[in-house]
Each structure stands twice: as structure tokens, then as C-alpha cells.
Structure 1
Amino acid sequence: MGRRRDLYDPTGERHGIPTFPWRLAPDGYATYRQLRAAGLRPGGQGVAAQCLRPRRRRGPLVAYLYRIDRAKPIRPMTPARWAALAKANTARRMCPGCGRDAGYVIPASLGTCVPCAYPEGTTDGIAA
């Protein structure tokens, strides 16, 4: 795999699903990000095709494609969903060590706010 003709399989015989070279997908297909930009979502449909780009070290890069005609509109945010999102974001700011609102999202690497993680005022584990 590596030549453009090896990546062109519109019937899906070689790769299992229709496969096209990078940036050469036919009209009617879009990636997940392209669907989101158009205000759409896959809506339960499976991957319809893929685009492959050869990569030198770790195998090919793959972009999964969905059918635009089967895509559904994005569901709007309801007041309950906005409230749940605000509650989740507030929980990410609360320090489990001291119980205060840190004013920022607590880093997962620390697990607590910076003053609780470094009580002596150190920031790199070395005493000042």
C-alpha cells in the first residue's frame, strides 16, 4: 500500500468498504467534522466509505466517510442539557482536597488544585 492506485477501491473488494485516495472522495460523502460544520450528525448510520492517505511509519491515515443524504440535523441543546453541562463544568472546578472552587479546571495529573498539590509553595517538587 502506498501508491494512489492501491488506495482506490470504490467497490470495497480489497478493503471491505469503498475506499478512495485522500481528498478524492466523491460528492455525497463527508467526514464527521464536515457533517458537524454543516449542522448535521451521522444519525445512527455506519461508516459508508473511507479515505486513505499513505503514511511512512505507522500505516495509513484513515478518514471515515458518512452519507450526507442519510445524515440528520444536530439535536438542539435543551435547558435541561445546558443545566447538566453547567453542573458538570462546575464539578470539574471543585477541588476534592479543600472543597473550594479553584477558578479553573483541575488538572487530571494533579487531582487537586495547585495549592493543595504543592502546599509549601513549590511548583516542581523542589522546595523554594
Structure 2
Amino acid sequence: MSSRIRAAFLDPTAARHDIPTYPWRIAPPHLLTRRQLAARGLRPGGQDVQAQVMWASRRYRAPGGIRVAFLYDVRFALPKRTATPRQLAALAKANAARRTCPDCRKDAGYVLPRHLGTCLNCAYGPETVEPVAA
């Protein structure tokens, strides 16, 4: 990336953009994305977006090829919430329902394709489905 493009994205005072803006890998260390917060076991905790990182990408089909990631202040972040046992049980039940074939009532061992609505054995027959190597 050329320095001219980086300079176009450097706006720490929010004069050009509505919020402070930094080029890729130039943001202050206390500003992190949601994924970076999650990797540290944190969540934004209700705080507004503090800044953004912008970069040009030829692969991404955004307007003008510009990508944006929002940044949150790690000092205001809160620990991630943990699911209760009842929530975990409900999630396990929902995932089991996504794997259970409505025709043969067996657990397919994978999430059923939505376009078929059944397991591969019921949709195509057992002789056309190759067994999975263990």
C-alpha cells in the first residue's frame, strides 16, 4: 500500500470522517476490533465505536474497494458473558434438531442441507452416498 493511500486514511482528529480514522496497523494499541476483544475474553460492553480502521482492498466488492473495521477502547470493555447451563442445553437441543432427518429420524452427524430438508441417504439413496472415511 502506498503512503499516499495511508495518508488518506489517517484522520485521528476526526476532521474528515465522523470518527477518528487510522490506516491498517496504525491504530493506537488500546483500540481493538470486536474479534480482538473476543480473543482476550472481552466484549465492547455497551460503549460506542471509538474509532475506525480503513484500508483499500482489491478483492472486496465494497464501494470504492474501501474496507472498514470499527474499534473499541479496551479500557471500557467488559468480560464476556458465559452461557447458563439452561442456555447451553437449549443450544445443544437446537443443534441436534438441525442434524436429525425428518424422514428417517436418525442423527445424520452433520447439519442437514436446507435445500434438501433431509439427510443425503434419504435424498439420494444409500447407494449413491459415499461413506465418510474414519
Calculate the TM-score normalised by the size of structure 1: 0.84
Match of residue 41, structure 2, among 39, 42, 45: 39
Separation in structure 2 between the aligned mates of residue 72 and residue 120 of structure 1, nearest angstrom: 50
Query: SS at the partner of 1:24?
Result: coil
* % identical equivalent positions: 57
Higher helix share: 2
Q: Which piece of structure 1 moves more, 77-86 or 114-123?
A: 114-123
Please state whether the residue corresponding to 1:88 is helix, strand or coil: helix
Deviating 4+ runs (over 4 angstroms)? none
Q: Distance in 1 between matches of 2:126 and 2:111?
A: 21
Q: Which runs of 5+ in 1 are unaligned?
A: 124-128
Partner secondary structure for residue 91 of structure 1: helix
Query: Any stretches of 5+ residues in structure 2 without a counterpart?
Result: 130-134
1:51 maps to 2:53: yes
Equivalent residue, structure 1, for 2:132: none
TM superposition score normalised by structure 2 = 0.80
Aligned length: 122
Residue 84 and residue 50 in structure 1: after superposition, are their counterparts in 2 closer, same or farther (change >3 A)? same
RMSD: 1.8
> How far apart, CA to CA, are the structure 2 residues paired with 1:71 and 1:65?
11
